[in-house]
Chains A and B, each alone.
Chain A
């Protein structure tokens, strides 16, 4: 080394910079009751005080609503804050459903979780199993509410070990979307059974040589639709003991996928590529390249304003029975919250006040989730104007969720692999299902 002095100079320089950067650190607690409208964050590393100047209690609410629905949710929160002098709700978008779950997991671990969070319904049980969701039963009793006040088809993911751990919020369900003009041209009626669906879907196919120019039916790449079809055939995704899939030994899985492969082979079914499949099928439906599709009720609003043909919705056709799973998200009170009373007041207001969830449902097109909401003149008016939305609600009488289990998020990945193996790679259906069966039993045994 040429000069020890020079080396020390450089080392000091390095350390000095490191130390300088740590300068703004404070030892403030990482509490979760903190104002979202922080002071200039660029100039300070400290947290703002928990309580606002006016003595308001701050309630942090995490949600997954972007785009227009995000704006409707912001408006809901604003209405709440304007009508409550003592509570300030800060709503924050935390990415899509899956991203919100990831964030919630790390936030719970580090004590930075919000008071209230939106949770995609399939993840509710996973969080409840970790004891991080508050039992809402006592709050409900105090507010004079009962589980019977809610739309029963949407309560499938609300209970865990007899505790009420979440309430429905932005919920949807798969439904059959139909280009009625296309069916009318050929004198076809809206299908109500699998057999009719097959006939109609095949009749709609237009081919030029070997190339299919128009398909009869499509659906996004998702577990939702095969699960719907399993229920329609009288199967359950998990057996009652939650030890094994409930649709493989009885041959139902094979029936469902054989039906789909059969349609696919004639061009009656277009099964889209996995990436962005929802947008692809929507585009093709709007363009008249597909006559019918299984798709979320969440698309009704966008489709209604985009199509230039007679667009109607109908129940998913039945095989043995009518059946459909539900989707979307619930709202939950986090057990770690230090403002549970205020947080509950927000949930209660959002669920039941006419200025709360009702307005959001009217604007967004999600399903009404309380009986009062359904009976309200606003919803009745909307349904009179847009019968497509009423169909979506009416179908809820057949709602059934048979994939309720703590292990679902993990099993879901396996089921996606099975769908890929069958729909894309045309593997032997029974072999693919047997492989799925084995993996699922292993996961459920853990």
Chain B
């Protein structure tokens, strides 16, 4: 802000900027929210309405039965349970690995630290499409193909989480840790009592991102599972598609609405913390 400029001028510039800002935000919101609205609308339409061209926006009579049909097409309770078990296990394990790792990277000096951290960042950049065949063969060798493990073990470490949490820990003043050590607090106590409470927003962010990406995972469970009993919701919903002929989009979208609801719930709990986390860590 420039001091000394005519007050009126600043005011005009600001109000114009704020109006433009609101419009831009509204446009961005529309871009993101539009597919969701379309999904919800389609989930309540009849087959005939989904085929209409130009598209139907508001169904004549909401077809709530689509949800019943989608959920009775397969063992959805089992899929949902698998999704929950997989996602929660991943998040718990990730935190167990990530917190000590981030603490070590942030607060200790040891030989090979930057190389090791480089490896962590490298893990960021390798997509699953490259690793799935070796991982599948490995899991088959271990005899784990008929369990949930192949969907959990490869995601135990979260490179993004380690990175974000390290940035966060680095900003916590050394003096606080020193003080704790003088009081005979060990590493675990320092992490538990000092680092974690101060890193709340970062933890919430990591948990949410991790939840969304693993809850929505399609490719990995598809290639890692051969039997129904260990499949997550995403695969159950993909099964609603027709191989040939006319797809029942209304049923598929009803399934998708069910898939998305938990994400919205988790987001509602975590959203408060998220912006804070990015501001703190200097990533904007």
Residues in chain A within 8 A of chain B (CB atoms): 1-2, 6-7, 9-10, 13-14, 17-18, 21, 24-30, 34, 36-38, 41-42, 44-48, 60, 62, 64-71, 90, 92-97, 99, 102-103, 106-107, 109-112, 114, 170, 172, 279, 282-284, 286-287, 289, 296, 298-303, 305-306, 327-328, 365
Interface string of B211-235 (1 = CB under 8 A from A): 0000000000011001111100000
Write the nearest CB–CB distance from A280 to chain B, whole angstroms. Answer: 8
B93 on interface, CB distance cutoff 8 Å = yes
B238 on interface, CB distance cutoff 8 Å = yes
In chain B, positions 163-212 with a C-beta closer than 8 Å to chain A are 186-188
B275 on interface, CB distance cutoff 8 Å = no
Q: Which of A64, A67, A284, A365 contacts B240 (CB 8 A)?
A: A67
Give chain B residues whose Cβ lies under 8 Å from the Cβ of A30.
140-141, 143, 145
A306-B226 in contact (CB<8A): no
Q: With A24-B149, A99-B222, A106-B137 in contact, is A41–B110 under 8 Å at CB?
A: no
Give chain B residues whose Cβ lies under 8 Å from the Cβ of A93.
228, 239
B79 on interface, CB distance cutoff 8 Å = no
B29 on interface, CB distance cutoff 8 Å = no
A45-B145 in contact (CB<8A): no
In chain B, positions 117-161 with a C-beta closer than 8 Å to chain A are 132-133, 136-137, 140-149, 152-153, 156
Write the nearest CB–CB distance from A275 to chain B, whole angstroms. Answer: 13
Further pairs besides A10-B108, A21-B156, A45-B147: 15, Cβ < 8 Å:
A1-B110, A10-B187, A13-B188, A24-B149, A67-B73, A67-B240, A67-B248, A102-B223, A109-B133, A109-B137, A112-B140, A286-B48, A298-B245, A299-B244, A327-B244
Q: With A24-B149, A95-B238, A283-B52 in contact, is A9–B188 under 8 Å at CB?
A: yes
Docked CA distance A37–B142 (Å): 20
Docked CA distance A29–B229 (Å): 19
Write the nearest CB–CB distance from B227 to chain A, whole angstroms. Answer: 5
B242-A283 in contact (CB<8A): no
Output the residue of B51, B186, B223 with the most chain A CB within 10 A: B51
Write the nearest CB–CB distance from B223 to chain A, whole angstroms. Answer: 6
Give chain B residues whose Cβ lies under 8 Å from the Cβ of A306.
47-48, 51, 246
A67-B247 in contact (CB<8A): yes
Docked CA distance A29–B146 (Å): 11
The bracket for how many chain B residues form the interface is 35 or more
Docked CA distance A92–B147 (Å): 15
Give chain A residues whose Cβ lies under 8 Å from the Cβ of B132.
106
A26-B93 in contact (CB<8A): no
B243-A114 in contact (CB<8A): no
Docked CA distance A13–B244 (Å): 52
Give chain A residues whose Cβ lies under 8 Å from the Cβ of B81.
42
Write the nearest CB–CB distance from B49 to chain A, whole angstroms. Answer: 10
Q: Name A366's closest neighbour in chain B (CB-CB).
A: B244
A68-B248 in contact (CB<8A): yes
A26-B243 in contact (CB<8A): no
Docked CA distance A95–B243 (Å): 9
Give chain A residues whose Cβ lies under 8 Å from the Cβ of B188.
9, 13
Give chain A residues whose Cβ lies under 8 Å from the Cβ of B241.
66-67, 96
Give chain A residues whose Cβ lies under 8 Å from the Cβ of B153.
21
B259 on interface, CB distance cutoff 8 Å = no
Give chain A residues whose Cβ lies under 8 Å from the Cβ of B242.
66-69
Q: Name A34's closest neighbour in chain B (CB-CB).
A: B146
Q: With A9-B188, A99-B222 in contact, is A41–B243 under 8 Å at CB?
A: no
Q: Name B218's closest neighbour in chain A (CB-CB).
A: A95
Give chain A residues whose Cβ lies under 8 Å from the Cβ of B226.
60, 62, 92, 94, 103, 107, 112, 114
Name the prevailing secondary structure of the A interface residues: mixed
Docked CA distance A179–B100 (Å): 67
In chain B, positions 38-52 with a C-beta closer than 8 Å to chain A are 47-48, 51-52
Write the nearest CB–CB distance from B71 to chain A, whole angstroms. Answer: 14
Q: Which of B85, B133, B238, B246 contacts A303 (CB 8 A)?
A: B246
> 15 A-B pairs, CB-CB below 8 angstroms?
A1-B109, A6-B187, A9-B186, A10-B108, A17-B96, A38-B227, A46-B147, A48-B146, A66-B243, A67-B73, A67-B239, A67-B240, A92-B226, A103-B222, A296-B244
B258 on interface, CB distance cutoff 8 Å = no
Give chain A residues whose Cβ lies under 8 Å from the Cβ of B101.
14
Q: With A28-B143, A29-B143 in contact, is A67–B243 under 8 Å at CB?
A: yes
Q: Which of A10, A24, A34 contacts B103 (CB 8 A)?
A: A10
Write the nearest CB–CB distance from B5 to chain A, whole angstroms. Answer: 51
Q: Which of B51, B243, B245 contacts A301 (CB 8 A)?
A: B245
B247-A41 in contact (CB<8A): no
Give chain B residues whose Cβ lies under 8 Å from the Cβ of A112.
140, 145, 226
Give chain A residues whose Cβ lies under 8 Å from the Cβ of B97.
14, 17-18
A90-B227 in contact (CB<8A): yes
Q: Which of B96, B156, B223, B240 contacts A66 (CB 8 A)?
A: B240
Docked CA distance A112–B47 (Å): 39
Give chain A residues whose Cβ lies under 8 Å from the Cβ of B147.
24, 41, 44-47
B53 on interface, CB distance cutoff 8 Å = yes
Q: With A13-B188, A111-B140 in contact, is A287–B53 under 8 Å at CB?
A: yes
Give chain A residues whose Cβ lies under 8 Å from the Cβ of B100.
10, 13-14
Give chain A residues whose Cβ lies under 8 Å from the Cβ of B63.
none
Q: With A30-B143, A47-B143 in contact, is A103–B223 under 8 Å at CB?
A: yes
B281 on interface, CB distance cutoff 8 Å = no
Top 8 nearest A-B pairs (CB, nearest first) are: A302-B246, A298-B244, A110-B140, A67-B242, A298-B245, A28-B143, A6-B187, A287-B53
Docked CA distance A327–B53 (Å): 28
Give chain B residues whose Cβ lies under 8 Å from the Cβ of A26.
143
Q: Name B153's closest neighbour in chain A (CB-CB).
A: A21
B104 on interface, CB distance cutoff 8 Å = yes
Give chain B residues whose Cβ lies under 8 Å from the Cβ of A282.
51, 246
B108-A328 in contact (CB<8A): no
Give chain B residues whose Cβ lies under 8 Å from the Cβ of A111.
140
Give chain A residues whose Cβ lies under 8 Å from the Cβ of B145.
30, 110, 112
Write the nearest CB–CB distance from B206 to chain A, whole angstroms. Answer: 17
Write the nearest CB–CB distance from A117 to chain B, whole angstroms. Answer: 11
Docked CA distance A26–B109 (Å): 38
Give chain A residues whose Cβ lies under 8 Å from the Cβ of B228.
36, 92-93
Write the nearest CB–CB distance from B234 to chain A, whole angstroms. Answer: 11
Give chain B residues whose Cβ lies under 8 Å from the Cβ of A300.
245
Q: Name A30's closest neighbour in chain B (CB-CB).
A: B140
Q: Name B137's closest neighbour in chain A (CB-CB).
A: A110
Write the nearest CB–CB distance from B63 to chain A, whole angstroms. Answer: 15
Q: Name A107's closest neighbour in chain B (CB-CB).
A: B226
